[in-house]
């Protein structure tokens, strides 16, 4: 079964750090680009970051650039999101997603999602 | 990176067709044929319904179809069913090599 399982969420004070993990199983993790997406009641779905299959290409949303770091360990089939300098507005349900469709050296469409892990930034 | 613009809600009766629009700019929707659509039910993971403007993943009903004209993408649901009631989000690749989601549309089946 193709599966993604996020973990690492929790309650953290403003300015603090948290590392999210996304464990992949049931597919060749090292062949796929991966995304982090977050959801808040007020904003809906918001794209956070993307990493390509070997980790050589990474992009971030402006709102997290310089504070969040995406990475992956293909030997462990795991995706990470290191979140530093957290703010109240980073509070959200964080999803990891597999990017399933590739052509022209680009990949689009998140065809597998985890159930999410909740991050709450509050004093 | 401003969110793509979607109408907040759409409602229709079972069997009818609805079209959800998603408006962006020439830097996102208008510049690339890389628009995706997601169905999101409360408490569940989002589900990919359309990718690359009009392509359906395996297993997605052909009642769902996608299109694009200029800076606006559209998702049409034909033969509306009760199980289609959900939030729908568009998503586009951007010229900054990032992605952006729409504001979301709540579909209600009357």
**Are the beta carbons of A44 and B103 separated by less than 8 Å?**
yes
- Cα A54 to Cα B32: distance, rounded to the nearest angstrom: 24
Residue among A47, A62, A108 whose CB faces B101 most closely: A47
Compute the average pLDDT of residues B17-45: 96
Q: Each residue of A107-117: pLDDT tens digit?
A: 899 999 999 99
* Predicted pLDDT at B101: 97
Cβ atoms of residues A62 and B1 within 8 Å: yes
B68: closest CA of chain A, how far (Å): 16
CB atoms closer than 10 angstroms to residue A103: 9
**Quick one: which of A61, A69, A77 has its CA closest to A22?**
A77
Q: Each residue of B71-102: pLDDT tens digit?
A: 999 999 999 999 999 999 999 999 999 999 99
Q: Which residues of A touch B52 (CB under 8 A)?
A: 101, 103, 108-109
Q: For chain B, give the mean pLDDT.
A: 96
- Cα B26 to Cα B32: distance, rounded to the nearest angstrom: 8
Q: Each residue of B39-58: pLDDT tens digit?
A: 999 889 999 999 999 999 99
Query: A105 falls in which pLDDT band (50, 70, 90)?
Result: confident
Q: Is A47's Cβ below 8 Å from some Cβ in B?
A: yes
* Predicted pLDDT at B11: 96
Q: Is A95's Cβ below 8 Å from some Cβ in B?
A: yes
Q: How far is CA B22 from CA A25, B90, B100, B101, in A?
A: 33, 6, 11, 9
Residue A118 neighbours by CB under 8 Å, 6+ apart: A9, A10, A92, A93, A94
């Amino acid at each position: 079964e193709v599966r993604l399982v996020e973990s690492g969420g929790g309650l953290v004070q403003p300015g603090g750090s948290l590392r999210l993990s996304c464990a992949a199983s049931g597919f060749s993790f090292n062949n796929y680009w991966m995304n982090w997406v977050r959801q808040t009641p007020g904003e809906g779905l918001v794209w956070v970051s993307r990493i390509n299959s070997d980790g050589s290409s990474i992009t971030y949303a402006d709102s997290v650039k310089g504070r969040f770091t995406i990475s992956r360990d293909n030997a462990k089939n795991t995706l990470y999101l290191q979140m530093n300098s957290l703010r109240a507005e980073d509070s959200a349900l964080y999803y990891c997603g597999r990017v399933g469709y590739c052509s022209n050296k680009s990949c689009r469409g998140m065809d597998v999602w985890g159930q999410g892990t909740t991050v709450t930034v509050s004093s | 990176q401003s969110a793509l613009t979607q109408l907040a809600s759409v409602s229709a009766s079972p069997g009818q067709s609805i079209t959800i629009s998603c408006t962006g700019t020439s830097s996102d929707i208008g510049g690339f044929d890389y628009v995706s659509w997601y169905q999101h039910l409360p408490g569940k993971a989002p589900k990919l319904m359309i990718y690359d403007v009009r392509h359906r993943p395996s297993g997605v009903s052909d009642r769902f179809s996608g299109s694009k004209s200029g800076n606006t993408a559209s998702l049409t649901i034909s033969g509306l069913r009760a199980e289609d009631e959900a939030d729908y989000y568009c998503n586009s690749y951007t010229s900054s090599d990032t992605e952006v989601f729409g504001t979301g549309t709540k579909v209600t089946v009357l």
